[in-house]
Amino acid sequence: MKRIFYFNITYGCNSNCVFCYSHNTRHNSESYNEILVEQIFQYLECQGITSRDRVIINGGEPLLHTKIEEMLIGLIQYKCEVLIYTNGRLINNYDFTVLSKNFRFIVPIHGYETIHDSVTGVHGSYQETIEGLKYLVEGTECLVDIKLILNDRIISKDPIGEKILQEFEDTIVFNNAIHLTKMADTIISVRNNCQPIINEKASIFMQIFFDYFKNKNVKIKIFDTCIRSIGWLENKEIRKYKDSIEVYFKDKNQYRVIDLSKNLFGCRKNCPLIDKCISAVNEYKVLEYFEGKIYENLE
């Protein structure tokens, strides 16, 4: 059994993304409705956390939490895997040199600089994120993933992905994996009239990005998007994730076990890649490529 302990530690954020996943978040650069550090450790102790477990730290923007350093340092003792989902803009404000490779930061990139800043709603956010990435890669032992989120502005402004891929050549650094996904339709995206991306368009872009990172021999994690155009995958055997998964969600006000039931898309019926179509949001799994092999794995 793989246990995942998922914490939303604050509902404050310093960005204002046009498709923000959390409609409960306040975008004023201040921590809001944050969970106490003591609550987290009491909860983990009661659950009997072990080194086999995974802890996810999210928000809002988790680095706005008033005791984020104390929280992360406190997690070292459990020797478990810790994932921190952050926009990366505040990383340079902290000393993360004491953290080990058990800590993995997952940082979103929404396109090249102009597009990224327009998506986050903050001028200069891209450069702040780039500086944070460099600090983590060059100054700590932490693992660093990039989450490349395909959105309608990339498609309209960078129709063959040329500009964003040049950023990966020149500017964007990471040391572990690239996550390929697309914008989710949310309450906020509808409110901002941010158009959803149909699977056919998403598939074409996923092929472009998959081919690029495959040729770089980079670990690739694909989820919540269409892979139909990636013909290379069709005749490849997928190694299934064999362990069962339980996900426990906790914030200041609630606790629940997350339902991991499968979300079946209508287009799956006649798709030749149906066995490789994975939804991380509903299953906490991804399609992972590395060194010529594909796996069903965790994000």
Q: Where are the domains of the chain?
A: 2-298
* pLDDT at residue 259, as a whole number: 86
* pLDDT at residue 280, as a whole number: 58
Q: Work out the number of other CB atoms within 10 angstroms of the CB of residue 224.
A: 21
* pLDDT at residue 176, as a whole number: 98
Query: Which pTM was predicted?
Result: 0.96
* pLDDT at residue 277, as a whole number: 85
* pLDDT at residue 118, as a whole number: 96
Q: Where are the beta strands (DSSP E) in 50-188?
A: 54-58, 81-85, 103-109, 143-150, 177-182
Distance CA 195, CA 189 (A): 7
* pLDDT at residue 200, as a whole number: 87
CB 50 within 8 A of CB 36: no
Q: What CATH homologous superfamily does 2-298 map to?
A: Aldolase class I (3.20.20.70)
Low-confidence residues in the chain, pLDDT < 50? none
Identify the burial level of 67 via C-beta atoms within 10 angstroms of its C-beta, where 0-12 means exposed, 13-18 middle and 19 or more buried.
middle
CA 238 centroid distance within chain: 22
* pLDDT at residue 263, as a whole number: 64
